[in-house]
Amino acid sequence: MQRVSFQFALRSGTSTIRPGEASAASDSRAAESLAEYAERWLVNVQGGVRSRTFDSYSSQLRLHVLPLLGDRAMSSLSAEDVLELIDRLRGAGYTGWTIRTAMTPLSRLLNHAVRRGVIAVSPISRLDRTERPAVWTAEQKVLKREEIRRLLMAAPPRFRTLLATAILTGLRQGELLGLTWTEVDFDQEVVKVRSSLDRQGQRLEPKTRHARRDVVLMPSLGRLLQEHREASNFVAASDFVFSSQRGTPLYWRNVARRALQPALQNAGLEHLRWHDLRHTFASLLIAEGGNIVYVSRQLGHGSSDITLRCYGHLFDRAEHAERTRDALESSFGALL
């Protein structure tokens, strides 16, 4: 197959299409190849998404979509083309999640083309539910009380407070690394999530209004953070709570490599992702009787529906399992 050239060059300037030229412009764009349209679409979308999302869109298109479909004209793309792409990715051994991730920028691109009148309908919308990649949610890994103790005891001393804060506040990694001292309210015993650090080290506003929140700060963790501050050279309100020796924020990849993985290995625990520490916090809230609305707000989810999809099984276990077990034992235990 011919190799698709796919370079993302930012262009400046705008052009004006007169009413009488609109149809001709749409016809011209419909004749464009998917690779050509994708290049323009990425320029258009870059300012509206976070840099990490943009990088993901670019790489998914370049690695998975365009090698097969890049030469196809926009007007000729069909549901069969999309199915061929899905089959190719399955045949290469990719999981449903990976295929779904690869399809996301393609879907957005095609919907953009529909709104611009370039194509009448997105080929993806013509797929039946059974034709779409099946996605199975992997079982979440959460730490139990004794495992939390072992992990923190085995953590490199420099990172013990970082790991404890991750587990006992449930902050996303970027929120934790972007945390400054002014956002730790020791008097009110809350951590105020007001920003997040992206992969390039830039502090950004929360992604949604729900992500801007106050997370409960348990007293013992508050004392640990105060001790951490007293031992730090960077204690100004605007300084990062967890910083390098130069006062700069910690790099996201390093905290997993130098903090979490050594702690897990020293504690003899199975591999965990950093995000599993957030799952652990959610499980602790649910186990302590937190209702769905409260847990959702503490986690900064956009809605309680998201929380229920992620942790519904934990709510079921906390609210119903013990009661059901006792009821079955009372009614049928004597039979055994």
Q: Which tens digit of pLDDT belongs to each residue from 79-101? A: 999 999 999 999 998 888 889 99
* Exposed/middle/buried for residue 278 (C-beta within 10 Å: 0-12, 13-18, 19+): buried
> Beta-carbon neighbour count of residue 32 at 10 Å?
17
Show Cβ contacts of residue 209 under 8 Å, excluding neighbours closer than 6 positions. Answer: none
Q: Which two tokens stand for residue 276?
A: 């599993």
CA trace torsion 252, 297, 180, 231 (10° rounding): -90
How far is residue 214's CA from residue 188's CA, in Å, rounded to a whole number?
10
Rounded to 10 deg, the angle between the 275-287 and 160-169 helix axes is 50
3-state secondary structure of 325: helix
What pLDDT is recorded for position 321?
A: 67
What pLDDT is recorded for position 15?
A: 41
Among 251, 194, 197, 186, which residue's Cα sits nearest to residue 220? 186
Q: For the chain, what's the residue count?
A: 336
How far is residue 255's CA from residue 173's CA, in Å, rounded to a whole number?
9
What pLDDT is recorded for position 17?
A: 41
pLDDT in tens, 187-201: 999 999 999 998 888
The angle subtended at Cα 59 by Cα 55 and Cα 60, nearest 5°, is 115
Phi, psi of 263 (to 5 degrees): -65, -45
How far is residue 198's CA from residue 336's CA, in Å, rounded to a whole number?
58
pLDDT along the chain (336 residues), means of 10: 42 42 57 93 89 91 95 94 94 88 94 95 92 70 94 96 97 96 97 92 86 96 97 96 95 94 96 94 90 94 88 74 75 77
How far is residue 243's CA from residue 161's CA, in Å, rounded to a whole number?
12
What pLDDT is recorded for position 114?
A: 96
| End-to-end CA gap in the chain | 67
Phi, psi of 131 (to 5 degrees): -90, -15
Residue 224 CA, chain-centre distance (Å), reads 28
pLDDT in tens, 112-153: 999 999 999 999 999 998 888 876 655 678 999 999 999 999
Percentage of the chain lying above the pLDDT 70 cut: 88
Alpha carbon separation from 236 to 60, 173, 183, 193, 231 (Å, rounded)? 41, 22, 11, 18, 13
* Exposed/middle/buried for residue 23 (C-beta within 10 Å: 0-12, 13-18, 19+): exposed
How far is residue 275's CA from residue 255's CA, in Å, rounded to a whole number?
12
Mean pLDDT of the residues in the chain: 87
Alpha carbon separation from 330 to 57, 277, 326 (Å, rounded)? 56, 37, 6
Alpha carbon separation from 59 to 52, 62, 104, 147 (Å, rounded)? 11, 5, 12, 37
CB 73 within 8 A of CB 32: yes
Q: Which two tokens stand for residue 261?
A: 């993985």
How far is residue 311's CA from residue 330's CA, in Å, rounded to a whole number?
29
Domains defined along the chain, listed by start: 19-131 (1.10.150.130), 145-323 (1.10.443.10)
What pLDDT is recorded for position 328?
A: 76
Residue 31 CA, chain-centre distance (Å), reads 35
How far is residue 104's CA from residue 122's CA, in Å, rounded to a whole number?
13
Look at the alpha carbons of 226, 230, 234, 235 in this order and tell me if their dihedral is positive or negative: positive
